[in-house]
Structure 1
Amino acid sequence: MRIIVFILSLIFLASTPMTASAKTAYDFAFTGIDGKPLPLAQFEGKVLLVVNTASECGFTPQYEGLEQLWKTYGEKGLVIVGVPSNDFGGQEPGSSEEIATFCKINYGVTFPLADKTVVKGDAAHPFYKWAGEQAGLMGRPKWNFHKYLIGRDGRFVDWFSTQTKPTGPKIKAAVEAALSSTSP
């Protein structure tokens, strides 16, 4: 009997999310590309699009679309947070300074950027563990430029794959719907 209880306890613990205490995206913080704290709580009441990025990827031109989305909807309450990651194909090998310079010079990026961050596996940043739990197995990043949409209340809304263009109809409709929400 004790063995059964022990095994059931292990199963329960293994299935309990590691980020169970986190209720919203506002419970997380990144380190900014400038080395300063980048708490998501500073964006409370805004809609967030959190995107893992890379400078040497075939999808890197999505920076342009992300910047366009930011300029179109930023004043309405959208915040885009770029999260550089070297997790997929080693396509973000640069230093923070190199990444920031690349983004500014090549794509005119003005939205907030985090420092290079692990977004997959056991060492993933807690935000990515939480968002992955919210999105389910299929909604976890499988490549660069995976996108998570977070509502004004800090709760997970949706995810978009690498192939989904930032200025495409799917993301625009989801962003507009999230922006029209009266929460919080």
Structure 2
Amino acid sequence: MEILQAGEEHLTDIAALAKSRSLDELDEAVARREGFLVSAYDETVYRARLSAHEYFQVAVEDGNVVGFVLAYANRHFGADEWLNRHVADELGGILVVKQVCVSREAAGNGVGSLLYRHVLDRWTTTPVVAAVVAEPRNEASNAFHGKHGFGVMFTLRPPDGRLRNVWVRPGQTGP
């Protein structure tokens, strides 16, 4: 398996993968057990993120995209990113893991951890934040973030109406 910088050639696969793991595409019991993405963006949104991110990596196995991670800092926040701006007001400089997604076929094989390690091993100075939908309870994602050193900072309901737990992993400075 390779971890590569996402490029134009990956966008169709990224959008299809996100759609397949979207809450809108899963029933509640599956979402609880397997985790999901809140937003299945179209290729246009992902294309815009190709130039506005700190990390946009894909996991590729046998030529197929089996996962991706998209993370960016304050300077890349859009005007409509109420939740990210709220957390940044509380913490100062942050890196937001906006999306992490692994195909069903690759789930449970460490792909998500490999993608997160790629980000967490490189971003060490400011907190890393991930918002996880709390209704329905996203047990898989909660366990995943806990395993990677995140803790719940607070729970809130942004304007889109979906309750979220905001998970934070403190920055690590020094040796």
Q: TM-score, normalised by structure 2?
A: 0.30
Greater percentage in strand = 2
Q: Which has the higher contact order (CA 8 A, sep 6+)?
A: 1
Which structure is larger by alpha-carbon Rg, 1 or 2?
A: 1
